[in-house]
Structures are given as C-alpha cells and as structure tokens.
Amino acid sequence: MCRRIGHSKESRYRAPAHNFLDFRGHLCYTFKDHDKLSVIILVMPGCEMGGASRNLREELIEAGIDEISRKGIQGFSIRRAARACGVSCATPYKYFGDRQGFVAGVVEYINGRWARREAALLTKISGNTRKKLLAVSMEYIKFLVENPHFRSILMMKDESFDLKYGGVRSGVSRATRELIERYCREVRMPARVARLKVFIVRSLIFGAALMFDNNEIEYNEDNLALVSYAIDREFDLA
C-alpha cells in the first residue's frame, strides 16, 4: 500500500527504481507531479503509520465508540471513524468485514473491558452468591457511570444488528443475570419470581446509572450505598 503525504486519499503507484528515502521507518520515494514534489510512503501490511506497535484495530474501535456516541447508531460513519485514525475508508473493512461487523467489534471490545473488570473484582470477593451478585451489580453501575459512551452503545436499538449479533450485546450483562438466577435457585425461589428479580435488579442498575449520569442524584458513596441497599433488600422480599 502506498500513501501520498499531504493528501487525504491513499493512492496506489508503481514505485520507480530511484529517489528512495526513509520516513519514520517506512520506505518511500519522491516524484514530480504537475511541478510539485510529492512523497509516497510504502506501508507494509500490518505496519500502519505511527510504528509497528500501533494497535490500529483498537484505535478504530475507540473511534467507532466516539462516533456512535455522538451520532447514534443510525448516523454511524465508518469513513469518519477511519479519518479519525488517519487511515483510508477501506481500512476498517479489512478488520471488521462490514458495518455490522464493525459495530459488533465495538460491542465485543466493551464486553472485554467489563469482563476484565468483573474478573478482577470477583478474585477479591469470598462468600456466598448473594454477596457476589451485589458486588457485581454495584461495580456494573460504576462501569456504566464512568463510561457513559459505552452505555449509549449497549442500549442502542438496531434491529438489523440484533438479528445477527444480538447475543454479543447481551454479553456484558450476562454475569449479573446469571448470579441472580443462581442465587434464586439456591434459595429455591420459583422461576417466575426469579425472572422478576432479574428484571427489578437490572432496572435498578440501569436506572441508577442514568440518574447519576443526568445528575438527578449525586454520584457519591452515600447514594451508591442507597442503591446497594435497594438491590440487596429486593432479595428479602417474596
């Protein structure tokens, strides 16, 4: 792949056998184009501008998160995400295949961020299932509040995406749901009651995150403790 410095579009040229030089570790050459000196950089596959250590896939995902947060899923533009990373509009397709694949990559990235945070939390907790589900629920609220751009993606509505990748989006909240269901089985709650508990606790999680984010209630330890009490108390109710 060849890139012309100073131009937004990448162009493909056959490199001449002369005028070669080095630019930031990339092989390149110069030529005259309409009396203007141009420089073409030959970028080897897997070695994008910025050095071999650059994680372009992750950069594209982070640009995608910002793009979806600002424009919504319907206004999401792969071209703008690529431009934010300084690469051609064709580059994201090499990593994600198509638009839906890109969005799935974004959701999987968020899932991974939460999974690592949840795993680190659970290594510090010993005790019964109820204690774990309460801790995970509260940590999930903090995760959503601290990353409001993630929440907008997790709660987006896109029927065409959900038909193909619906299971991907539900992954980030799977652990909380499974812990609630496990506890309900342990204390022999009826299946109908267990479904109700999942609904109520998830409503408390997302409702609290939204209220914190909208400054309806202040995001502080006292109010987090209030939410924790409301979630814990729910399992004392029939």
Pairing of the two strands 36-42 and 26-33: antiparallel
Residue 103, domain member (yes or no): no
Residue 50, domain member (yes or no): no
pLDDT given at position 46:
41
**Torsion sign over Cα 59, 64, 70, 71:** positive
Residues 112 and 93 in one domain: no
Residues 165 and 134 in one domain: yes
pLDDT given at position 14:
43
- Measuring CA to CA, how many Å separate 193 from each of 20, 116, 187, 199? 73, 30, 11, 10
Residue 192, domain member (yes or no): yes
Three-class secondary structure of residue 38 per DSSP: strand
% of the chain surpassing 70 pLDDT: 70
Type of residue at 46? G
Contacts by 127-131, CB closer than 8 A, 24 or more apart: 129/179, 129/182, 129/183, 129/186, 130/183, 130/232, 130/235
111, 176 contact by CB (below 8 A): no
Domain limits for position 72? 55-97
The rounded distance, in Å, linking the Cα atoms of 237 and 196 is: 11
Residues 79 and 191 in one domain: no
Helix residue ranges per DSSP H, 43-171: 56-71, 78-84, 91-96, 99-122, 129-146, 148-154, 159-170
Residues 9 and 114 in one domain: no
125-159 pLDDT tens trace:
887 899 999 999 999 999 999 998 887 777 776 66
75-126 pLDDT tens trace:
889 999 999 999 999 999 999 999 888 988 998 899 899 999 999 999 998 8
φ, ψ for residue 82 (rounded to 5)? -65, -40
Residue 137, domain member (yes or no): yes
Residue 34, domain member (yes or no): yes
Residues 117 and 224 in one domain: yes
The structural domain count of the chain equals 3
pLDDT of 45 higher than 80: no
The rounded distance, in Å, linking the Cα atoms of 142 and 132 is: 15
